Amino acid sequence: MQSRLAFIVGAESSGKQWLWRCLSTHAEALGLPETHAFLFGTRPEPSAASQVRDIDFWRIVRQMNEGTSHVDDCPIEVSSGAHGEALHSGAEAFLCAVDEERMRRLDALMHRLPTFATWDEVFGEVAETLDGLRPTLVEKSPGHVYYMQRIHSRFPAARFIGIVRDGRSVYAASIKKRKLWNLEPLDLKAAAMRWLRSTSTLLRFEAQFPSQVLVIRHEDLMQQRAEKVAEVCRFLEIDSSLPLIEKLVDFNTFQSAADPCRPGEPQGIDLDDTIRFENVIQEPEIAAFESLTAPMLERLSYPVHRLQQR
């Protein structure tokens, strides 16, 4: 392949979507809408085309080829770039970059999913179809953090950007998100164990393949947005000049952002809400979460309140 594959991974509510949007705006990167490619098991079932129809990547491909969606259906704000070019982000950037012929090939691929021996092969053909459009293809799907070994086995040159975040803030963010969507809150123990599992999986993989994994903290990403995005770009060997990165960051940083392609789902960074977990969860919940996760919190240099109170 001409293009490098990169995967953004990490716990939920850790900033993966915002980083993906920034990279999708970069002229040297193509952001793939979520494919969930490694989450369905090993072999596509006969009903695979129906199984994926509402997943971002395949829904966009289907709607484009049915003529029921086009760039104007995703009216994400567009501003002018350094040389007068339009900037696009997220799904809109993908729609603008992929030509009709490739869209038709992707649509045909979706309809023959059951003929593939593995989902790994499906993603391989997706990557080959999009190969060469940009120097780097960037994918982000929830749950892929647990399949990094499998992804690496299939694509040994792939790189991974892992985002870690204070587990208490992840839990607080999940509470706010589930309230917004009128969902039942996660059980605290289940949330703590999920955070531990995703974070420890990422760190073990980083230790095994240090040259192919860049781990950054969500808190550092929020406090040093341009510097950290530039670090990611250097890792991916694409243009990391600060004026360009600042433009990408500014374009993708806005209050209470929402992606019209995913109605009702907040996106981007809300600068008024860095989510101090103390403002969302009560002291007994904080203590309970820390009792399950303190060693990992300390390993990542997050202060543990119950230890400070001794």
Residue 302 phi, psi (nearest 5): -95, 130
Instruction: Say what the pLDDT of residue 272 is.
Output: 40
Q: What is the predicted pLDDT for the residue at 274? A: 53
* 143-179 pLDDT per residue, tens: 999 999 999 999 999 999 999 999 999 998 888 888 8
Total residues belonging to the chain: 310
| Chain centroid, CA 303 distance in Å | 26
Using the predicted structure, report yes or no on whether residue 309 has a pLDDT greater than 60.
Answer: no
Inform me whether the pLDDT recorded for 288 exceeds 80: yes
Which one, of 194, 202, 216, lies nearest residue 292 by Cα? 194
pTM, full prediction: 0.88
Express each pLDDT in 95-112 by its tens digit. 889 999 999 999 999 999
DSSP labels for 235-262? Answer: HTTS---HHHHHHHHHHTB-TT-B-TTS
Cα–Cα distance for residue pair 7/179, rounded to 1 Å = 29
- 62 Cα distance to chain centroid: 21
Computed over every residue of the chain, the mean pLDDT equals: 85
Q: Which domains does the chain have, with CATH numbers?
A: 4-273 (3.40.50.300)
* 306: confidence class by pLDDT, cuts 50, 70, 90: low
Instruction: For residue 310, give the amino acid letter.
Output: R
Collapsed DSSP state (helix, strand, coil) of residue 281: coil
- Tell which residue, 89, 91, 37, has the closest CA to residue 64: 91
pLDDT of residue 263: 45
End-to-end CA distance of the chain: give it in Å, rounded: 56
**Stretch 286-306: mean pLDDT, rounded?**
92
**Rounded distance between C-alpha atoms, residue 269 and residue 257, angstroms:** 7
Distance, in Å, from the CA atom of 187 to the CA atom of 76, rounded to the nearest integer, reads 35
* Mean pLDDT (whole number) for 203-214: 98
